[in-house]
Amino acid sequence: MKDNFFTGKNKIEVLNLRGKRSQSEVISTVLLILLVIVATMLIASFLVNFVKERLSDADCINVLQEVSISNKPQYNCYDFSNQIMIFQVEFKDNQSLGGFAVELGGATTKSYEIRENLFPPEITMYGGGIMELPKKNTARAYNLTGVISKPDSIKVYPIMKTGQLCDKSDELNSVELC
């Protein structure tokens, strides 16, 4: 009888090797699938946060041109003797505005937020009267007291009814003396 390599004990060893190869291929496939799932979850978690952040900024896009600073010199000027900054803000046709922030720029920059029923004590209505935000397609002039020096610029930022502060909507780059 011829001695065949694949008989007896050798045949069992070859079959065991084939079984081990099959197990390692299954394990490799399972590990690759797990790796893909983990990578997908990491990318998805990043993208969800990124998209949420961008969607919240989308609300501000709708109001960027809805708040402006009047360019009338009598309503945008600095009264040096009384240290009062007079400025006028106009709201256009947008119902999602909850207020605005005004920033006086110069050597030092100071910002003030004016919201419905929440007005800083330094800001009063120009000409007196009850403090109020501009209504739809109207403008309101304000006095800002305690301004020590003439600002170089005035910037206005819309505030949504949700409280979100948006990017600059308008800017006045020169302030005249009253």
**Residue 133 and residue 96 share a domain:** yes
How many domains does the chain contain in total? 2
Task: State the residue for tokens 């007079």.
Answer: 86
Task: State the residue for tokens 């309101």.
Answer: 140
Angle at 83 between CA 82 and CA 85, to 5 degrees: 110
**Residue 94 and residue 52 share a domain:** no
Across the chain, mean pLDDT equals: 83
Q: 58-77 burial, b for 16+ CB within 10 Å, e for fewer?
A: eebeebeebbbbbeeeebbb
**Residue 24 and residue 7 share a domain:** yes
User: Per-residue pLDDT tens for 33-42?
Assistant: 999 999 988 8
**Residue 19 and residue 4 share a domain:** yes
Of 40, 61, 82, the residue that ends a domain is 61
Of 19, 37, 61, the residue that ends a domain is 61
| Alpha helices in 62-108, H assignment, sequence order | none
The pairing of beta strand 84-91 with beta strand 77-79: antiparallel
**Residue 170 and residue 92 share a domain:** yes
Assign residue 88 the CATH number of its domain: 2.60.40
How far is CA 49 from each of CA 29, 36, 44, 57, 100, rounded to the nearest angstrom? 31, 20, 9, 13, 27
Amino acid 3: pLDDT = 54
Instruction: Count the neighbouring beta carbons within 10 Å of the beta carbon of residue 94.
Output: 15
Q: Domain span at residue 153? A: 67-177
**Residue 169 and residue 132 share a domain:** yes
Global pTM reads 0.66
**Residue 89 and residue 14 share a domain:** no
User: Per-residue pLDDT tens for 70-104?
Assistant: 888 888 999 999 999 999 999 987 677 889 999 99
Of 61, 79, 99, the residue that ends a domain is 61
Report the C-alpha gap between 25 and 36 in whole angstroms. Answer: 17
